Amino acid sequence: MYLQIMEQIKQKVRAGDWPAGHPLPSIRELSVATKVSVITVKRAYTELETEGVIVTQAGRGSFVADVMDVQKTLIEAELEKYIAGLIGAGRTLGLSDNRIIELVKNALVAD
């Protein structure tokens, strides 16, 4: 469940809905809104802070990290997942890495 909370927050940051400095709901507020335990939400926030997506200030709450590249980093991480899937699918289909690269280049040129 905490992974779903993390992904939802990351999606808001990636989409630009929550820019740097944007305050996150308190752990208790999000716990009530999502109907999950405070411990689960706390774990999501702790993981997001470890990843550098958010910062927590004692007594003030949690905010989207004020790092210029946090949105770009999240976008690239998402794309890397798709690329890994593409490579895996190509290899499963018996294509060589060179052929996969060639097909990707062709698709980029065609766009």
Q: Is residue 18's pLDDT more than 70? A: yes
Give 30's contacts (C-beta < 8 A, 6+ positions apart).
5, 24, 41
For residue range 34-57, list pLDDT tens digits in order. 999 999 999 999 999 998 899 998
Report CA dihedral (38, 42, 44, 47) to the nearest 10 degrees. Answer: -160
For residue 95, give the 3-state DSSP assignment. Answer: coil
The answer to whether the pTM exceeds 0.85 is no
Across 6-10, 44-48, 64-68, least confident range: 64-68
Using CA atoms, how far apart are residues 58 and 50, in angstroms rounded to an integer? 16
Q: What's the pLDDT at 20?
A: 87
